[in-house]
Amino acid sequence: MRRVAITGLGAVTPIGLDARSTWESAVAGRSGVGFIEAFDASGFPVRIAAEVKGFDPGSVAPPKEVRRMERNVLFAVAAAQQAWAEAAIEDVDPARVGVVVGSAIGGLPGIADQHGVLLERGADRVSPFFLPSVLVDTASGQIAIQLGLRGPNYAPVSACATGSTAVGEAAEIVRRGAADVVLAGGTESCIHPLVLAGFCAMRGLVAEEVDPTLASRPFDATRAGFVMGEGACILVLEDIDAARARGATIYAEVLGYGASNDAHHLAQPDPESTGVAEMMRSALERAGVAKERVGYINAHGTSTPQGDLAETRAIKQVFGDHAYRLAVSSTKSVTGHCFGAAGAIEAMMCALALHHGILPPTINYRTPDPELDLDYVPNESRALELDVALSNAMGLGGHNGCVLLGRAPS
pLDDT (0 to 100) of residue 344: 98
| 160 catalytic per annotation | yes
Q: What is the mean pLDDT of the chain?
A: 97
Was domain 4-245 assigned CATH 3.40.47.10?
A: yes
Distance of CA 194 to the CA centre of its chain: 22
- The model's pLDDT over 200-242, given as tens digits with 9 standing for 90+, comes to 999 999 999 999 999 999 999 999 999 999 999 999 999 999 9
At residue 410, the 3 state secondary structure works out as: coil
**Using CB atoms within 10 A of its CB, is residue 137 exposed (0-12), middle (13-18) or buried (19+)?**
middle
Q: Minimal CA–CA distance to 41: which of 228, 196, 189, 190?
A: 196
Looking at 3.40.50.720, 3.40.718.10, 3.40.47.10, 3.50.50.60, the CATH number of the domain 256-407 comes to: 3.40.47.10
How sure is the predictor about 44, in pLDDT bands with cuts at 50, 70 and 90? Answer: very high
pLDDT (0 to 100) of residue 194: 96
Q: Which of 160, 338, 350, 402 is catalytic?
A: 160
Q: Judge whether 4-245 and 256-407 match in fold.
A: yes
Q: List C-alpha distances in Å: 409 to 55, 250, 295.
A: 35, 8, 17
Q: Cβ atoms within 10 A of the Cβ of 289, count? A: 18
Quick check: 14 pLDDT over 80?
yes
pLDDT (0 to 100) of residue 267: 83
pLDDT (0 to 100) of residue 157: 97
Q: Write the single-letter amino acid at 104.
A: A
Quick check: 402 pLDDT over 90?
yes
Quick check: 3 pLDDT over 80?
yes
Q: What is the domain partition of the chain in residue ranges?
A: 4-245, 256-407
Quick check: 326 pLDDT over 80?
yes
